[in-house]
Amino acid sequence: MKNLILLIGFTYFDKYFFNPSEDVVRALDRTNIRGYRITAIILPVSFKRALNKLCKAIEDLKPRIALGIGLAPKINKPVIELVAVNVAHAEYGDVDGYKPFCEFLEPKAPFTVSTNLPYRKCLEKCKRRGLKLDVGVSIGTYLCNAVAYTLISKIKSYGGTAGFIHIPPHTDLAMRLRLPNYIPLHEIIETVRCILEITIEEIEDLNK
Protein backbone atom coordinates (compact mmCIF):
# COMPACT_ATOMS: atom_id res chain seq x y z
CA MET A 1 0.00 0.00 0.00
CA LYS A 2 1.04 3.56 -0.67
CA ASN A 3 0.29 6.67 1.38
CA LEU A 4 -2.19 7.61 -1.27
CA ILE A 5 -5.87 8.53 -1.25
CA LEU A 6 -8.06 7.54 -4.17
CA LEU A 7 -11.10 9.79 -4.61
CA ILE A 8 -13.87 8.65 -6.93
CA GLY A 9 -16.51 10.88 -8.50
CA PHE A 10 -19.01 10.55 -11.34
CA THR A 11 -19.83 12.39 -14.55
CA TYR A 12 -23.27 13.62 -15.59
CA PHE A 13 -26.42 11.50 -15.56
CA ASP A 14 -30.06 12.10 -16.43
CA LYS A 15 -30.80 15.83 -16.06
CA TYR A 16 -27.80 16.38 -13.77
CA PHE A 17 -25.33 17.66 -16.33
CA PHE A 18 -23.20 19.17 -13.56
CA ASN A 19 -22.33 16.44 -11.08
CA PRO A 20 -21.07 17.88 -7.78
CA SER A 21 -19.08 14.72 -7.07
CA GLU A 22 -16.93 15.44 -10.12
CA ASP A 23 -16.39 19.03 -8.97
CA VAL A 24 -15.36 17.89 -5.48
CA VAL A 25 -12.81 15.30 -6.56
CA ARG A 26 -11.34 17.59 -9.22
CA ALA A 27 -10.87 20.30 -6.58
CA LEU A 28 -8.94 17.89 -4.34
CA ASP A 29 -7.01 16.04 -7.04
CA ARG A 30 -3.20 16.23 -6.66
CA THR A 31 -3.42 17.92 -3.27
CA ASN A 32 -1.96 16.59 -0.03
CA ILE A 33 -3.46 15.90 3.39
CA ARG A 34 -1.10 15.04 6.24
CA GLY A 35 1.46 13.51 3.91
CA TYR A 36 -1.07 11.59 1.81
CA ARG A 37 -1.30 12.41 -1.88
CA ILE A 38 -4.79 12.53 -3.41
CA THR A 39 -5.47 11.03 -6.82
CA ALA A 40 -8.93 11.44 -8.33
CA ILE A 41 -10.74 9.44 -10.97
CA ILE A 42 -14.06 10.27 -12.63
CA LEU A 43 -16.34 7.37 -13.51
CA PRO A 44 -19.04 7.32 -16.18
CA VAL A 45 -22.55 6.44 -15.00
CA SER A 46 -22.16 3.05 -16.66
CA PHE A 47 -22.11 -0.15 -14.63
CA LYS A 48 -19.63 -2.01 -16.80
CA ARG A 49 -17.28 0.83 -17.73
CA ALA A 50 -17.28 2.35 -14.25
CA LEU A 51 -16.43 -0.89 -12.46
CA ASN A 52 -13.72 -1.76 -14.98
CA LYS A 53 -12.10 1.66 -14.57
CA LEU A 54 -12.38 1.48 -10.78
CA CYS A 55 -10.83 -1.99 -10.54
CA LYS A 56 -7.92 -0.96 -12.77
CA ALA A 57 -7.26 2.16 -10.67
CA ILE A 58 -7.22 0.15 -7.45
CA GLU A 59 -4.92 -2.47 -8.96
CA ASP A 60 -2.51 0.14 -10.33
CA LEU A 61 -2.46 2.51 -7.34
CA LYS A 62 -3.04 0.28 -4.27
CA PRO A 63 -4.25 3.27 -2.21
CA ARG A 64 -4.27 3.11 1.57
CA ILE A 65 -7.52 5.11 1.65
CA ALA A 66 -10.30 5.24 -0.93
CA LEU A 67 -13.46 7.31 -0.85
CA GLY A 68 -16.27 7.22 -3.37
CA ILE A 69 -18.53 10.25 -3.70
CA GLY A 70 -21.93 10.24 -5.37
CA LEU A 71 -24.79 12.69 -5.83
CA ALA A 72 -28.06 12.07 -3.99
CA PRO A 73 -30.31 14.86 -5.31
CA LYS A 74 -32.85 14.85 -2.47
CA ILE A 75 -30.62 14.93 0.62
CA ASN A 76 -29.57 18.13 2.41
CA LYS A 77 -26.27 17.05 3.95
CA PRO A 78 -23.43 14.62 3.14
CA VAL A 79 -24.04 11.05 4.32
CA ILE A 80 -21.47 8.34 5.05
CA GLU A 81 -22.97 5.10 3.77
CA LEU A 82 -22.36 2.33 6.31
CA VAL A 83 -23.02 -0.68 4.06
CA ALA A 84 -23.22 -1.72 0.43
CA VAL A 85 -24.99 -4.78 -0.96
CA ASN A 86 -24.01 -7.42 -3.48
CA VAL A 87 -26.88 -6.62 -5.84
CA ALA A 88 -27.18 -4.48 -8.95
CA HIS A 89 -30.74 -3.54 -9.80
CA ALA A 90 -32.06 -0.57 -11.74
CA GLU A 91 -35.49 0.67 -12.73
CA TYR A 92 -33.92 2.71 -15.52
CA GLY A 93 -30.85 2.16 -17.66
CA ASP A 94 -27.41 3.68 -17.23
CA VAL A 95 -25.90 5.94 -19.90
CA ASP A 96 -25.20 2.86 -22.03
CA GLY A 97 -28.78 1.64 -21.70
CA TYR A 98 -27.80 -1.25 -19.44
CA LYS A 99 -30.45 -2.08 -16.84
CA PRO A 100 -29.47 -4.87 -14.41
CA PHE A 101 -32.27 -6.86 -12.81
CA CYS A 102 -31.43 -8.23 -9.34
CA GLU A 103 -27.95 -9.33 -10.44
CA PHE A 104 -25.11 -10.27 -8.09
CA LEU A 105 -22.07 -8.05 -8.42
CA GLU A 106 -19.87 -10.92 -7.20
CA PRO A 107 -21.78 -14.25 -7.20
CA LYS A 108 -19.70 -15.98 -4.50
CA ALA A 109 -19.01 -12.94 -2.33
CA PRO A 110 -20.75 -11.80 0.90
CA PHE A 111 -24.15 -10.18 0.51
CA THR A 112 -23.07 -7.00 2.35
CA VAL A 113 -19.84 -5.16 3.08
CA SER A 114 -19.35 -2.46 5.69
CA THR A 115 -17.22 0.66 5.53
CA ASN A 116 -14.22 0.80 7.83
CA LEU A 117 -14.10 4.58 7.84
CA PRO A 118 -14.06 5.91 11.43
CA TYR A 119 -17.55 7.29 10.89
CA ARG A 120 -18.34 8.08 14.52
CA LYS A 121 -15.23 10.24 14.89
CA CYS A 122 -15.97 11.84 11.53
CA LEU A 123 -19.45 12.83 12.70
CA GLU A 124 -18.14 14.24 15.97
CA LYS A 125 -15.26 16.24 14.52
CA CYS A 126 -17.13 17.52 11.48
CA LYS A 127 -19.89 18.74 13.79
CA ARG A 128 -17.32 20.58 15.92
CA ARG A 129 -16.13 22.34 12.78
CA GLY A 130 -19.68 23.37 11.89
CA LEU A 131 -19.91 20.93 9.00
CA LYS A 132 -23.07 18.93 8.30
CA LEU A 133 -22.65 15.16 8.12
CA ASP A 134 -24.74 12.08 8.82
CA VAL A 135 -24.63 8.30 8.42
CA GLY A 136 -27.04 6.13 6.47
CA VAL A 137 -27.88 2.65 5.22
CA SER A 138 -29.94 3.62 2.17
CA ILE A 139 -27.37 3.45 -0.59
CA GLY A 140 -29.79 1.68 -2.94
CA THR A 141 -28.94 -0.81 -5.69
CA TYR A 142 -27.85 1.50 -8.52
CA LEU A 143 -24.33 2.43 -9.56
CA CYS A 144 -23.29 4.15 -6.33
CA ASN A 145 -23.95 0.90 -4.49
CA ALA A 146 -22.07 -1.13 -7.10
CA VAL A 147 -19.05 1.16 -6.85
CA ALA A 148 -19.21 1.19 -3.05
CA TYR A 149 -19.43 -2.60 -2.83
CA THR A 150 -16.53 -3.11 -5.22
CA LEU A 151 -14.44 -0.35 -3.67
CA ILE A 152 -14.87 -1.45 -0.06
CA SER A 153 -14.36 -5.14 -0.87
CA LYS A 154 -11.15 -4.63 -2.80
CA ILE A 155 -9.56 -2.02 -0.54
CA LYS A 156 -10.31 -3.93 2.66
CA SER A 157 -8.95 -7.15 1.13
CA TYR A 158 -5.39 -5.82 1.45
CA GLY A 159 -5.84 -3.88 4.69
CA GLY A 160 -6.84 -0.47 3.36
CA THR A 161 -9.63 1.84 4.47
CA ALA A 162 -12.59 2.58 2.22
CA GLY A 163 -16.05 4.05 2.18
CA PHE A 164 -18.63 5.90 0.17
CA ILE A 165 -20.48 9.13 0.82
CA HIS A 166 -23.49 10.70 -0.81
CA ILE A 167 -23.57 14.46 -1.18
CA PRO A 168 -26.44 16.87 -1.89
CA PRO A 169 -26.54 19.24 -4.86
CA HIS A 170 -24.21 22.21 -4.68
CA THR A 171 -25.45 25.76 -5.14
CA ASP A 172 -24.77 25.96 -8.88
CA LEU A 173 -26.69 22.78 -9.67
CA ALA A 174 -29.57 23.75 -7.38
CA MET A 175 -29.92 27.16 -9.01
CA ARG A 176 -29.89 25.68 -12.52
CA LEU A 177 -32.52 23.05 -11.70
CA ARG A 178 -34.43 25.07 -9.08
CA LEU A 179 -33.79 22.51 -6.36
CA PRO A 180 -34.73 23.48 -2.78
CA ASN A 181 -31.87 21.63 -1.07
CA TYR A 182 -28.20 22.41 -1.55
CA ILE A 183 -24.88 23.11 0.16
CA PRO A 184 -22.11 25.40 -1.14
CA LEU A 185 -19.39 23.50 -2.98
CA HIS A 186 -16.66 24.74 -0.64
CA GLU A 187 -18.53 23.30 2.34
CA ILE A 188 -18.83 19.89 0.70
CA ILE A 189 -15.11 19.97 -0.06
CA GLU A 190 -14.30 20.86 3.56
CA THR A 191 -16.47 17.99 4.77
CA VAL A 192 -14.62 15.55 2.52
CA ARG A 193 -11.30 16.92 3.75
CA CYS A 194 -12.46 16.49 7.34
CA ILE A 195 -13.41 12.86 6.72
CA LEU A 196 -10.03 12.18 5.14
CA GLU A 197 -8.10 13.92 7.93
CA ILE A 198 -9.90 11.92 10.62
CA THR A 199 -9.32 8.70 8.69
CA ILE A 200 -5.59 9.40 8.43
CA GLU A 201 -5.44 10.20 12.16
CA GLU A 202 -7.15 6.89 12.92
CA ILE A 203 -4.69 4.95 10.75
CA GLU A 204 -1.71 6.70 12.35
CA ASP A 205 -3.04 6.01 15.85
CA LEU A 206 -3.50 2.30 15.07
CA ASN A 207 0.05 2.08 13.71
CA LYS A 208 1.70 3.60 16.78
CA distance 40 to 66: 10
* Cβ atoms within 10 Å of 106's Cβ, excluding its own: 12
Residue 144 among the catalytic residues: yes
> b/e for 174-186, b at 16 or more Cβ within 10 A?
beeeeeeebbebe
- Residue type at 34? R
CA distance 23 to 79: 17
Out of 122, 126, 144, 194, the active site residue is: 144
Span between the terminal Cα atoms of the chain, in Å: 17
> b/e for 21-32, b at 16 or more Cβ within 10 A?
bbbbbebbeeee
Give, in order, the Cα–Cα distances in Å from 194 to each of 117, 186, 189: 12, 12, 9
Task: Find, among 181, 187, 150, 159, the residue nearest to 168 by Cα.
Answer: 181
Out of 22, 122, 126, 166, the active site residue is: 166
Out of 22, 81, 126, 194, the active site residue is: 81
Catalytic residues: 81, 144, 166
